[in-house]
Amino acid sequence: MRAYSSIQNKGRNIKVAPSLLSANMLDIGRDVARVRDGGADLLHLDIMDGHFVPNLTFGPDMAKDLHTMGLPLDVHLMVSNPDSALRWFCEYADYVTIHVEATAHLHRLLREIRDRGCRSGVALNPSTPPDFLPYVIDQVDLVLVMTVNPGLGGQSFIPAMLPKIEEIRRLVDEAGLPVEIQVDGGITADNSKLVVEKGADILVSGSYVFSSDDVSGAIRNLKTPSPSER
């Protein structure tokens, strides 16, 4: 059913994960079907608690319903107590990502995510360096680099995050493990090629995809971006 397959970048499959934070909440089923049929690889669901970030979004019932829509569910937990949230979301998700800033027990929680049958992800806020990664990388399936400050949709991409993506790509390649690098925040066709060149495997895009009159074209533009401007 998908119109476009993922492009290759140095042997990596590039995926697109539309962020449902930018979907039409009054007709979310239609929007999910549009991105599914338009070539999306994942559905990105941001869970916010109003404490770790200044916003409230979805609960486990939304994850349960999205689980039936025919795309893998990528859950990003922007919450202060990820320990208690895992049991609610791992049942329905394919990926579950927690923030390094939100827990003192990162290694244990990453292992628990895997034990619950999901791929484990760790997210970094813009000001967080990736120094911790070598100590947990054997428990990680995905590293999420935030290129905006988390909590609100529609923000502009922070170019200073590009060296961080490149550094994480180096750490992952040196470890020789199949860890995917996801980038989230202000991703459009104007910057997607450069983000991929720096090492991204998965592009999370909300406003750019859902505000387009041609969703399949927007997804195609992310998967086959024009040359980057340096």
The residues annotated as belonging to the active site are 46, 184
Backbone angles phi, psi at 116, to 5 degrees: -85, 5
13 Cβ partners below 8 Å, 6+ apart? 6, 7, 201
Spatial neighbors of 217 by CB under 8 A, at least 6 apart, are: none
The secondary structure element, H or E, covering residue 66 is: helix 60-66
**DSSP characters over 89-103:** HTTT-SEEEEEGGG-
Burial class (CB in 10 A: 0-12, 13-18, 19+), 60: middle
